[in-house]
Copies of this chain bind each other. A is one copy, B any other.
Amino acid sequence: MARRSKTAPAVRKPAAARPAEVQASALRRTRREHATETAKDYVEAIADITALHGEARAVELARRLGVTHVTVVRTVARLQRDGYVSAKPYRSIFLTEKGSRLAEESRQRHEVVVAFLRSLGVPEEIAQTDAEGIEHHVSPETLAAFKRCAASRR
């Protein structure tokens, strides 16, 4: 079977488009972001729950995140290891300074994305849902563009 045909370039699509290296680093970034998504989702939820109920318990986190309490417990342990929360056995979960900062950033970012989608005419509930997935992958430039666009359509 022919090796990468350096002599006969085969098909030759018009747009050589993104060179392999560029795409590779974009995908690497996406994977890297994915690693912090969980932390963001958790601190955001912890902040929400604390605001609503005065404290965040694992059971409520599990309900809101759509996982079992076991998953919550393990993930919270990781968040504690990484300095986002403090927690003691059988007690509530609290955000650290670092965790609060991340939660606030996440909340703002979520707001911008939702407001933007809403301004495009996407129904509220779908905007909320899509934002959960999109918000973690928006660069500062794109976030700024979202803000501008939403403002200009208001």
A residues contacting B by CB (< 8 A) are 1-2, 4-5, 9-13, 16-18, 20-30, 33-34, 41, 45, 48, 51-55, 57, 60, 63-66, 91-92, 117, 120-123, 125-130, 132-134, 136-139, 141-142, 145-146, 148-149
Contact = CB atoms under 8 A, between A and B. Distances in A.
B53 A4 contact: yes
B132 A133 contact: no
Question: Chain copies in the assembly?
Answer: 2
A23 B64 contact: yes
A128 B26 contact: yes
Contact of A28 (B2, B18, B66): B66
Contacts of A120: 142, 145-146, 148-149
Given A2-B55, A5-B53, A33-B133, A65 B24 contact: yes
Given A27-B41, A120-B142, A120-B149, A1 B92 contact: yes
